[in-house]
Structure 1
Amino acid sequence: MVWIVVPFDVVTGSSDAACELPGHGWVAAAHAREIITRPGSVWRTLPVDVSSGRALSRPGLGYRPTAAMVEHVQALDGVCRAPGCEVPALRCDLDHEVPWPAGPTTVDNLHAKHRFHHNLKTDGVWTSRPTGGRGLEWTTLTGRTYATWPKDWQAGVDQPRADEAAPDDPPPF
C-alpha cells in the first residue's frame, strides 16, 4: 500500500500544489493525479480541522482496533509520536496510551509508536501521557520532558510546486 496526500483542490484540478508522499517527500500535482486515477487505487477521505491542520478523530470501541481505526490513527499521527522520530505511522505499532483494559480501544487512546519507542514506554524507560488535542508529553528516564503533536496535514500546502526549480541563492560575499 502507498499513501499519497492530495488536497481536494488538486484532485479537482483547480490547484497544482505539490502533494505529499508520507515518508518519501513531495510529488508534482500532475503525478499525484496520475497515481490516484490508476486502476485499483482506493481513495480515503481525511477530514481536517482547517484552523489547526489536524485530522479529526472518529471514536470507536472494542478490544482490538478495527482496520478503519488503525488506518485513521495512522492518518491522524502521520509518524511515530516519540520526540524527533520520523518513522511513518504505517510502520508503527498502535499503543494504548492508557493501557487496556483501564483505557478503551478508541482512536483517542491509540497513538502510533514504532516498536523501539513503544518498548521504551512499555518497559517504563520512558513515559508518555496525553495532554489534550492528541498531544503527548514524554518523560525520559533522566526526567527530561518533550511534547509531541499529531501531523499537521496543512503544513506544506504552501510548498513550492515540486516541478518548480528553487531560486538560486546568491553567493556569500
Structure 2
Amino acid sequence: SDVALDLLAGKDFEHAKIIVQVTLPARAALGVDNTPGHLVGYGDIAAQQAAELAYQADATWRRILTEPATGRVLDVGRRHYSPPAALRDHIQASMPTCTGPGCVRPAAQCDLEHREPFPAGPTDEHNVHPACRSHHRGKTFGGWKIIKRGGILEWVSPCGYRYPHTPEPITHPEPAPPPF
C-alpha cells in the first residue's frame, strides 16, 4: 500500500533498490540436483526458478553454510555492541523470525538482542538473536530470561514458565542414508 500511495503521489522509483532473498543449495545452483530453493517471504520455489533469480546479472551472492542433516545455518566476527553486517545477515538467516514466545515478526524487523548483556556477553551468533521491540524490552526491563541449550533458545517468564524457540531450517534436510 505504501508503494501504491507513493506512485499516486508521483514519487520517482528510478533509483530504488529492490532486494529479493533467495536461498539455493549449491548442488541445485550447479544443476546437479533439483532441490527446491526458498524465496524469503513466500516459501519454496522450484530449483530452476531459484537459479534463474540467482544468475541475474545484478544478483549478489552470499554464502551461507548449513548443516546438511538439519538444514540449520552454521556460518555466514565480533567485538562491538552492534553486530557487523555479516553477523546480522547470519543471525537473520538462521533465525528468520523473532525468537519471543509465539511471535512471527520477521527478523529483519527485529532488534538484535544480546541474551547475555554486552560487554559481559559477546556480540556473536551464540549470544545475539532477533527479538521484536516488545520482546526485547520484556527481556531487558520485564524480568524475562533467556537460556540457550544447543540450538534452542528458551524464554523463561518472570513466573518461571518456559517457552522454547527452535529455529526452523531454511533448507530441506538431506534424507538419512539407508541402513546397510
TM-score, reference length from structure 1: 0.78
Partner of 2:164: 147
Counterpart CA distance in 1 for 2:90 and 2:126 is 10
Counterpart CA distance in 2 for 1:83 and 1:155 is 24
Percent identity of paired positions between Structure 1 and Structure 2: 34
Shift of 1:142: 4.1
Shift of 1:58: 6.5
Equivalent residues of 1:17, 1:157 under 8 A apart: no
Counterpart CA distance in 1 for 2:72 and 2:106 is 16
Shift of 1:57: 4.2
Partner of 2:11: none
Write the mapping of 1:73-84 to structure 2, written as runs, cut at 5 A.
Answer: 73-84=91-102
Runs of 4+ in 1 over 4 A off after TM superposition: none
Are positions 1:108 and 2:129 aligned together? Answer: no
Classify the secondary structure of the residue corresponding to 2:153. strand
Partner of 2:10: none
Equivalent residues of 2:69, 2:174 under 8 A apart: no
String of CA shifts for 1:69-118, please: whole Å, max 9, x gaps: 11111122122212332222222210011011211112221101122222
Are positions 1:95 and 2:113 aligned together? Answer: yes
Equivalent residues of 2:28, 2:47 under 8 A apart: yes
Are positions 1:65 and 2:104 aligned together? Answer: no
Classify the secondary structure of the residue corresponding to 2:65. coil
The counterpart of 1:13, out of the listed 7, 31, 34, is 31
Counterpart CA distance in 2 for 1:51 and 1:28 is 21
Further displaced range: 38-47 or 49-58: 49-58
Are positions 1:56 and 2:74 aligned together? Answer: yes
Further displaced range: 24-33 or 40-49: 24-33
Shift of 1:30: 2.0
The counterpart of 1:27, out of the listed 16, 21, 45, is 45
Partner of 2:144: 126
Shift of 1:48: 1.3
Counterpart CA distance in 1 for 2:105 and 2:129 is 13
TM-score, reference length from structure 2: 0.75
Partner of 1:45: 63
Counterpart CA distance in 1 for 2:26 and 2:62 is 12
Shift of 1:135: 1.8
Task: Please list every run of 5 or more consecutive structure 1 residues that lacks an aligned counterpart in the other structure.
Answer: 159-173
**Matched pairs, number:** 157
Equivalent residues of 1:61, 1:105 under 8 A apart: yes
Q: Relative to structure 1, is the Cα distance of residues 157 and 87 closer, same or farther in structure 2, using a 3 angstrom cutoff?
A: farther
